[in-house]
Amino acid sequence: MKHKPRLIHVSEPRLEFRFGQKTDYARDGLYLFGPVDAVDAPRQVRYGFIGTADSYRRFGEWADRVSGYIEVPEPGRMSKATAPHHVPFPGFGETFHSLWSKRPVRIITDLDEKELRRLICIENRHEAIKAVVDVFVDRLVSDQKRSEDPPSFWYVVIPDFIFEMGRPNSTVAPTERIKGKVGISEKKAAALAVQPTLFGLAEQEAEVYKYAKNFRRQLKARLLDHQIVTQIVRESTLTPDEFLKANGKDPKRRVEDPATIAWKLCTGSYYKSGGRPWQLGDMRPGVCYVGLVYKKQPESTDPRYACCAAQMFLSDGEGVVFRGALGPWFHPDSKQFHLDRESARRLIETVLAEYRLKHQADPEELFVHAKASFSDDEWQGFSEASTGHTRVVGVQISDAWDQIKLFRPGAYPVVRGTALITGPRSGFLWTTGYVPRLDTYMGPETPNPLAVSVRRGDADIETVLSDVLSLSKINFNTCLFNDREPVTIKFADAIGDILTAAPVYSEPRLPFKFYI
């Protein structure tokens, strides 16, 4: 029987905060009630700092500022300054019911800015960025080995030139280029994987090409083995008024107002210190969500060779990333990634073992989210892993920008949560749109929906859409109203980039906070 399309609205998911209080907007909940994990005694936030002496001065000014109340901008100072998404920041201690110290418990400031600038200007970009990352990694790892009580996380404050020249497509002006030590080209280094030399000397020099030309990704990747959590911040984010154009008046970069920056950085810091700012307020118990991550291996001569990982998320927002097997998961004919049966089984077995460790029971439902569909071989492996009473459901979530547009009369687009049910197992979901709490639409153009389909297993499509909408609200690194994609999908590419940004010598099973 042909299914008649119908338009529905999925209710805005609520978030839970201290005292069991629930509200739509994370900033409202933290402002009014505090984090969901708060107890009577304030928790100590222990963090370290690494950067140059000037970076530490800038950080000190910011740490002092977020110790107290930060008002939203005055009307007229910036566009939409009085919009409802602007919420004053009460101060770190008041917001998170925590003991916030303006002074880090560990301080590393012996980084020489001139030396960092010299290293980042090395002509070979792989060598340049690895050399700069070496400076940070060596000191962080050395400090951790010496410390009996290391910080929960580190603020890594970098000069803007590291951000600008520490990216894949960055270039150095000919007059500033510095000759490095690596003489072998990337093309010759790739050839060594097929035909190595007799004594391996060239291979040692070629090792530099195993590291990504991206400062942030490489730093995160190289600290995984040492289980060091970082919060990377640009100097100009902390003290934007000190970074002006040549006229001495206009800022070099447009940044958000101080209250918004405080909300974002401090919420991420609280999470990385071990806290839980909020959790989903009305989720079903016994549900586990898994997002699949794939990333091609850049140094592989086989175009099918890729890294696989899984992100597990629970209703309390807790996330764990599991690195899976390397293998020929990319299929050039379909342009999709699929595991073989055995690797799929092992990956889900690992996820379920972690869930049992935390809850002493199997989940009632396990939803596997992916951007592509699921092969028969792959799904058989997933099903074999879920012994017992766990019900496994495979959900494909993809961008539908070219499939459908929905227009609404008036000044604003469709309401967030609008859904077009096209069949018993499929529909389109608008995760962005007009938000009544904010009384605005935050996007630049007509919002595009996500295409959501139950590809394997059985589940009510309206329940699946509600879950997807809820999972768009547990990004602790931004403290926004929502993301466009659920957390199971949003960070897939970023995690894949980190897992392939440097050689990883362990099979990490680490909390999500190590990757963001």
Mean pLDDT by 10 residues, the chain (516 residues): 86 97 97 96 96 98 98 67 77 97 97 97 96 98 94 98 94 91 82 61 80 96 96 97 86 92 97 96 92 82 84 89 88 90 94 92 95 94 89 95 86 94 97 92 89 97 97 93 95 92 80 93
pTM for the predicted model, two decimal places = 0.93
Check if the beta carbon of residue 467 is closer than 8 Å to that of residue 434.
no
Structure tokens at 386: 């879920």
Check if the beta carbon of residue 310 is closer than 8 Å to that of residue 324.
yes
- Confidence at residue 401, expressed as pLDDT on a 0 to 100 scale: 83
Question: b/e map of 126-159 (b: 16 or more CB within 10 Å)?
Answer: bbbbbbbbebbbeebeebbeeeeebbbbbbbbbb
Question: Taking Cα atoms as reference points, which of 250, 232, 231 lies closest to residue 240?
Answer: 250
Going by their DSSP bridges, the two strands 391-399 and 15-16 should be labelled as unpaired
Distances 96 to 39, 105, 321 between C-alpha atoms, Å: 11, 19, 26
- Confidence at residue 80, expressed as pLDDT on a 0 to 100 scale: 46
- Confidence at residue 1, expressed as pLDDT on a 0 to 100 scale: 53
Give the C-alpha separation, 448 to 430, whole Å: 7
- Confidence at residue 284, expressed as pLDDT on a 0 to 100 scale: 86
Residue 31 CB-half CA count within 13 A:
20
Give the C-alpha separation, 79 to 73, whole Å: 10
- Confidence at residue 300, expressed as pLDDT on a 0 to 100 scale: 61
Give the C-alpha separation, 298 to 305, whole Å: 9
Give the C-alpha separation, 275 to 36, whole Å: 9
Give the C-alpha separation, 105 to 100, whole Å: 11
Give the C-alpha separation, 291 to 69, whole Å: 38
DSSP 230-250: EEEEEHHHH-GGG-B-TTSSS
Give the C-alpha separation, 215 to 162, whole Å: 8
